[in-house]
Amino acid sequence: MWNPSTIASPAGNVNLSYFVEWRRLLWTPAIEYLIADPKRFAGKTVLEIGCRNGRMSCLFGLLGANVLGIEMPGQPLDAARVEAQRWNLERRVSFAAYDGTPRTIPGDRFDYIFTKSVLVTIPNLDRYLPDLAERLSPHGELLAAENLSGGQLLGAVRHLWTYRHYRTLEDRLHAVDSKFLLNVRTAFNSVDVKTFYGCVAAIRAADVRRMLTSA
């Protein structure tokens, strides 16, 4: 089985937790689960929504994928580009801004779309996810590591502190719950969910109907 503590790169073995970037103890097992076999990304295209400092985009680049990391307008991408330079990935990993609409994402369809604590912040997810599914190749897969709703105490802490910058209390109430998963299963007909520590949900989703149509 793949050792989650290290990954081979042009710079040698590096720690997976470095690429996870924040809350590593909680999120690294979920990212390991989503990556599964690292070799499957070689030669594929990956879209990361909400690329932040670009570390996860660079991880996929190190695994041999061609990667586009996107952020909302106004979110700086300088640190992400510096990260790509650090790993000599400028030709394999690029970054761009988008307006929050999947249809306007640069490029064609992608083999994998990755998110980390992003989908839980998107309003009108019931409309966003079907459009996002259209940006996947016929055999493509959504890989999402998202905040689990958790118990009442954890939920209260998350709603009042983690999302404290949102304008209203209602805007803060985002997490993977039954409504969230219903939206995912409506957009994708093959969905696998694994939870970690009661805090993180790792979601793998695909559209088998599109796979059969393209066969």
pLDDT band at 151 (very low <50, low <70, confident <90, very high): very low
The residue-averaged pLDDT of 16-37 equals 89
Which CATH number fits the domain that encloses residue 128? 3.40.50.150
Alpha-carbon dihedral sign for residues 101, 80, 52, 92: positive
172 falls within a domain: no
Letter string b/e over residues 85-110, b meaning 16 or more CB atoms within 10 A of that residue's CB: eebebeebbbbeebeeebeebeeeeb
pTM of the model: 0.86
| Contact in structure between 138 and 214 (CB atoms under 8 Å) | yes
Is 159 a domain residue? no
Let me know if residue 73 belongs to a domain: yes
* pLDDT per position as a tens digit, 6-21: 766 555 677 888 999 8
In a domain, residue 1? The reply is: no
Q: How far apart are CA 4 and CA 37, in angstroms?
A: 11
pLDDT at 123: 86
Give dist(CA 123, CA 137) in Å, integer: 24
Q: How confident is the model at residue 25 (pLDDT cuts 50, 70, 90)?
A: confident
Give the count of domains, the chain.
1
Does residue 39 sit within a domain?
yes
Tell me the mean pLDDT in the region 132-160.
77
Furthest-apart CA atoms within the chain: distance in Å: 48
In a domain, 160, yes or no: no
Backbone angles phi, psi at 161, to 5 degrees: -115, -55
Q: Is residue 37 domain-resident?
A: yes
Return all residues near 116 (Cβ < 8 A) that are at least 6 apart: 20, 27, 31, 50, 56, 144, 145, 146
Q: Give the pLDDT of residue 52.
A: 94
Parent domain of 101 = 6-149+177-214
Q: Is residue 40 part of a domain?
A: yes
Q: Specify the DSSP element, H or E, that contains 12.
A: strand 12-15
Residue type, position 171, single letter: D
Residue 132: pLDDT above 70?
yes
